Amino acid sequence: MKNKKFYITTPIYYPSGQPHMGHAYSSIIADVIARFKRNDNYDVHFLTGTDEHGLKIQKAASKAGLKPLEYCNKISDIFRQLNVKLNLSNDDFIRTTEKRHFNSVQHLWKQLVDSGDIYLSKYKGWYSVSDEAYYNSDEIVEKNGKKISTFSGSLVEWVEEESFFFKLSAWEDKLLEFYEKNKKFIIPVSRRNEVINFVKSGLKDLSISRTSFTWGIKVPNNEKHVIYVWLDALTNYLSALNYPNLNNDLYKKFWPASLHVIGKDILRFHAIYWPAFLLAANIEPPVKIFSHGWILSGEEKMSKSKGNILNPLEIIDIYGIDETRYYLMKEVSHGSDGNISLKSLENCINSDLANNYGNLCQRVFSFIKNNCANNVEAYKDKLDSDQKIINETKNIIGELRNLMEEQNINSYIKSVINISFLTNKYINDEEPWKLKSSNVKRMNNILHLALEQIAKISILLNPIIPISTSKVLDALNVKKSNRNLSFLDGENILSEKISIAPLNILFKKIT
C-alpha cells in the first residue's frame, strides 16, 4: 500500500485575460513534480483551477453582455482547454464560483470571527476610479489643486469604505517563528529572506471585505459585504479537499498541502497571508511554497508582428507539447526568470531531444530491427566498460530525488540528459556494428545494455515528456507498473530476452 502522499497545487488563475506563457509555466512545473511523485510511488493529489470573483470580472461580464457566472463559465473553460493542451495530469479543477468553495470560505471566515481575528472598521485611502486601485499617501502628488497618482497620473479621491479587517498585525511574531521552524517553507532562499524582512518591518491589518461590488462570496451574516480577494482565493486549496468537513477522506489524507507552486508575483499572499489565516483558524499551514520566476521573451517581445511569441497555444501547435514542456523546464534556471526565444527553443529541441535522446533511441532500435529481427538476448558476462556505465548511471540517478525535492527541475533534466550522453558514447566506443559476424553474443550484450539505458532515461524523463517517453517504454514492452523510480534501483531492469516493437522517429529536427 502507498503511504506516501503528496498534495500539489498551481495558483488558481484569474481569467481576466488570455492564458499566457506564465500560466503554462506554473502549471507545467506542478505537473512535472506531480508526475515525478506518482512515479516515485506517492499518492498524489494535483489541483489547479480558476479564481473568478471580483470587480474586474463583474465589469468584463457586463461589458460582454453576460451574467457574471455565464462569463466565468466561458473563460474558465478556456483555462481547462489549456490544461488539456499542456497535458496536465491534474486530479481536480476548482472554481471559486463552486458551492464547495462557498461553504469552505464562509466556514473559514466564521472560524476567524470566532478566534477574534476579524473586526469591522473603515478602509481609507486615496482611490482612483479609473485604476480601480488604492494608493498610499506617498504615491500621491498634488497638481493644479488636484490629487493624482504618481504611478498612473490618474485622479484620486479620498474614500472611506466600511470593511472587515483581519488582524494580520497580531501574527508577526508567530509567522517569524513559523518561518524559523520551517526553514524550507519558502523556496528559493532569496525569496524567503524577502518575506522575512517584510514581516520584520511590520504588518498592517488586512482589509478582507468590500461593499463596492457584489460579485463574490457574501460575508456570513452581513449581506452588504463581499469577501475580498485573498481570503476567497487562497482558500481554494482547502475547498478542493472538502474543507470544512474535517473527516472527509481527501482532507484527512492530503492536508496540509505539500507544495504550492506559484509565481513570484503572488509570493507575499501565499507566504504571509495564507499561513496567518490558517494559524488563526488553527489549521496547519502548507509544507512548502515554491516561488518561480517569470518567463520573459527577448527583444522580440515588443514586436507586434511577433507578439504571439508568448502565446503558449501557438507554440504548442507548432512545436508540440512534449517539446514545449521540455524546453521551458530545461531552459529556465531554478527560481530565476527565464528568457525564451524561438531560436533557443529550436536549438534545444534539435540538440537535446532530436539529436541526443531521440537519435539514441532511433539508432539502437533500428540496429536491432535490421540485425537482430527485433530480439535481443543478454548474456551474463559483463565487461569493465559495461559496469562502468552502469555505475555512472546509478550515481546520477542517486541524486535525482534530491534535485526534484528542491524543485530544481532544470538541473534534474541536465543530469538525466547526461545519461544519454554516456550511452551514446558507450555505443560509439563498443562499436556493435563491427561484431555482426564476429561476436554476436557480445553484440547482444551491448544492445541489451543500451536498451536498459534507454528505459532508464525514458522513465526519468517521463514526468517532463510523458507522451514521447511512453512511446519508447511501450516499444520496449516495459509494464506500466514498472515505470517508476524503484524499478530503476535494480541493475538489470529488463528481462534477459527482449522483443521490441518498431519505434518511429520521436522528435523531428527543425531546420
Binding site for RNA (CB under 7 A): 14, 51, 54, 56, 123, 132-136, 168, 190, 193-194, 197-198, 201-207, 228-229, 233, 264-266, 268, 331, 333, 336-339, 344, 347, 350-351, 353-356, 358-359, 361-364, 366-367, 370, 421, 424-425, 427-429, 431, 433-434, 505-509
Q: How far is the CB of 385 from RNA (least distance, A)?
A: 13
What SS3 state is found at 389? helix
Strand pairing class (186-187; 209-210): unpaired
Return d(Cα 105, Cα 163) in angstroms, integer.
17
Count of C-beta atoms within a 10 Å radius of residue 93: 17
Return d(Cα 388, Cα 398) in angstroms, integer.
15
The nearer residue to RNA, 306 or 436, going by C-beta atoms, is: 436
Cα torsion through 382, 384, 390, 391, rounded to 10: 140
Strand pairing class (289-292; 186-187): parallel
Placement of cell 473586526 in the chain: 119
Return d(Cα 355, Cα 469) in angstroms, integer.
15
Long-range contacts of 248-256 (CB under 8 A, 24+ apart): 250/45, 253/5, 253/43, 253/45, 254/5, 254/7, 254/45, 255/7, 255/283, 255/284, 256/7, 256/283, 256/284, 256/285, 256/286, 256/287
Residues 6+ apart with CB under 8 A from 374: 368, 499, 500, 501, 502
Residues 432, 443 contacting (CB under 8 angstroms): yes
**Backbone dihedral angles phi then psi of residue 285, each to the nearest 5 degrees:** -70, 165
